[in-house]
């Protein structure tokens, strides 16, 4: 088996993994669970970029997908879900008033 | 096909699907086990790819992943476990 065929087989495997994890991430509803699934998707994308001989893209994808995106998502989930009774009431009243021309 | 690339294909075929499966089921804390195993597997896959393609510069990606993987796991445990740890803390503060 030639080297080019071997690399194409590896790229096909990595593409199948990316498709599976991306579908799972899109079908997940809870944002905290979705953050974990997004981290796995970032790892699969890193493997795909490395097999496509783009190690710098894989490096930046690794930094963004493994560290920064889960941190931002989990910080946002914490901020949104903090139990604050009066503020939630005010938000609920303000929610219906989007009728500006 | 290189022996290194063959090992990469075996790891991608037999190693990664259980990780994706484990990271797609259960609660967020249960998914962390799949993510952690996937991090270790991907580090090995990247090192094998660098050896199989004959490019030693690809090793840097595996090095960065080996540094960032435990840091990401710490971020997840800090923010996912924080919610369940808040409740005893507030009750203790209320008693005191």
- Which of chain B's residues have a Cβ under 8 Å away from the Cβ of A50? 46, 49, 58, 61
Interchain CB contact of A63 with B (< 8 Å): yes
Give the gap in angstroms from C-alpha B74 to the nearest C-alpha of chain A.
10
8 Å CB contact of A28 and B24: yes
Q: Is the pLDDT of residue B14 over 90?
A: yes
Average confidence (pLDDT) over B87-96: 49
8 Å CB contact of B64 and A62: yes
CA triple A20-B10-B3, angle to 5 deg:
140
ipTM higher than threshold 0.90? no
8 Å CB contact of B16 and A17: yes
Could you say which residues from 75 to 94 on chain A have a Cβ atom under 8 Å away from some Cβ of chain B? Answer: 75, 77-78
Q: What is the pLDDT of residues B58-89, one digit of tens each?
A: 999 999 999 988 888 888 888 887 655 444 44
SS (H, E, C) chain A: CCHHHHHHHHHHHHHHHHHHHHHHHHHCCCHHHHHHHHHHHHHHHHHHHHHCCCHHHHHHHHHHHHHHHHHHHHHHHHHHCCCCHHHHHHHHHHCCCCCCC
The percentage of chain B sitting over the pLDDT mark of 90, rounded to a whole number, equals 45
Q: Is the pLDDT of residue A73 over 80?
A: yes
Would you give the distance in Å from CA B79 to the centre of its chain?
16
Contact indicator for B23, A12 with CB cutoff of 8 Å: no
The C-alpha atoms of residue A8 and residue B83 are separated, in whole angstroms, by 45
8 Å CB contact of B79 and A47: no
Q: Could you tell me the pTM of the whole model?
A: 0.80
* Max mean pLDDT range (A74-88, B9-23, B71-85): B9-23
Q: What is the pLDDT of residues A12-61, one digit of tens each?
A: 999 999 999 999 999 988 888 899 999 999 999 999 999 999 999 999 99
Average confidence (pLDDT) over B12-29: 89
């Amino acid at each position: 088996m030639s080297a080019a065929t071997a690399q194409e087989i590896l790229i096909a495997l990595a593409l199948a993994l990316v498709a599976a994890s991306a579908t799972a991430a899109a079908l997940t509803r809870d944002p905290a669970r979705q953050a974990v699934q997004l981290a796995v998707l970032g790892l699969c994308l890193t493997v795909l970029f490395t097999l496509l001989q783009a190690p710098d893209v894989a490096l930046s994808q690794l930094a963004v997908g493994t560290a920064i995106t889960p941190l931002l998502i989990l910080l946002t989930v914490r901020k949104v879900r903090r139990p604050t009774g009066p503020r939630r009431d005010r938000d609920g009243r303000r929610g219906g008033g989007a009728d500006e021309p | 096909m290189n022996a290194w690339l063959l090992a990469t294909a075996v790891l991608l075929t037999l190693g990664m699907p259980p990780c994706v499966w484990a990271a797609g089921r259960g609660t967020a804390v249960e998914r962390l086990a799949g993510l952690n195993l996937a991090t270790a597997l991907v580090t090995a896959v990247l090192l094998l790819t660098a050896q199989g393609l004959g490019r030693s510069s690809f090793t840097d990606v595996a090095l960065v992943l080996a540094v960032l993987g435990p840091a990401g796991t710490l971020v997840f445990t800090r923010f996912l476990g924080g919610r369940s740890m808040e409740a005893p803390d507030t009750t203790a503060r209320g008693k005191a």
